[in-house]
Amino acid sequence: MGGSTLFAPIFEALSIFLVAIGIPLGAAIIGGLLIGILQTATQIQDQTLPQSVKLFVVIAVYAAVGGSLLYPLSEFTETLFRDFPKMVR
């Protein structure tokens, strides 16, 4: 078994993972930044506000585009299970 046959599925899995996690993470960062600016401007000292906003932003992103984000992951998983006997030889 060569190194390329081992590293190709790992690289593909990591790239799919980064896309599936990166979009909601980016939205949470932007939401947290906007709430931080709002808190600074209004001098609100509530510590739970940014966390709850980030949580709702991530839930909204997954509700809006979750199917298209997780479809490549499910396809990769099916391919991995289908090709697993060839990988372990």
Domain ranges of the chain: 3-87
What is the reported pTM?
A: 0.75
Encode 16-31: b = buried (16+ Cβ within 10 Å), e = exposed: beeebeebbeebbeeb
Sequential pLDDT tens for the chain (89 residues):
556 677 888 898 899 999 889 999 999 999 999 999 999 899 888 888 889 999 999 999 999 998 888 888 899 999 988 988 887 77
Beta carbons of 45 and 35 less than 8 angstroms apart? no
